[in-house]
A and B are shown apart, each in its own frame.
Chain A
Amino acid sequence: DAGVTQSPTHLIKTRGQQVTLRCSPKSGHDTVSWYQQALGQGPQFIFQYYEEEERQRGNFPDRFSGHQFPNYSSELNVNALLLGDSALYLCASSFTSGSETQYFGPGTRLLVL
């Protein structure tokens, strides 16, 4: 059983560009959450998708948007990249019942130059 997978593993972009990151959830999971982890810090919640809709959002600007597909996979889009968007982006999947325990993927490391 594959766990949570993310692509790409690494990405380099320049300021002002746009980026799309992808996530496939663990088998049996229907909810995907995205987190941003800056160097030396804990992950910060960006938003969560369930039934193809954004259900909850953290304190991130509208430049951060997402999508969930019928197969539960998800994308995170960031527009007008800033240097400060350089971080590890983590995807977590969960099942919307019980503890809703979140399992994380390996992350995508984004560097904005």
Chain B
Amino acid sequence: NAGVTQTPKFQVLKTGQSMTLQCAQDMNHNSMYWYRQDPGMGLRLIYYSASEGTTDKGEVPNGYNVSRLNKREFSLRLESAAPSQTSVYFCASSEALWGQGFEQYFGPGTRLTVT
């Protein structure tokens, strides 16, 4: 099992460019998440997908869109990158749809720099 995989590992964008971060999990989890990690702020939830076919905004959704392509894959798109989106992006997945919480499993991250 690869767990949660993310591509790319590193990316540099110019302001205004667009890109899509890819995430896939092979644990048959229902729920998937996108976070950004900034120094001193922990991880903040951008978007999540509680189940295939649904997506919802998290704490910091502005400037991002997501697609739950199927049960395995959950992509994050930056339509017009801004320097404020320089961050490390983590994808995660979890078994629980509703009820008692289950741990989230994290991918290795994508380090994005917007110049």
A and B together in one complex = no
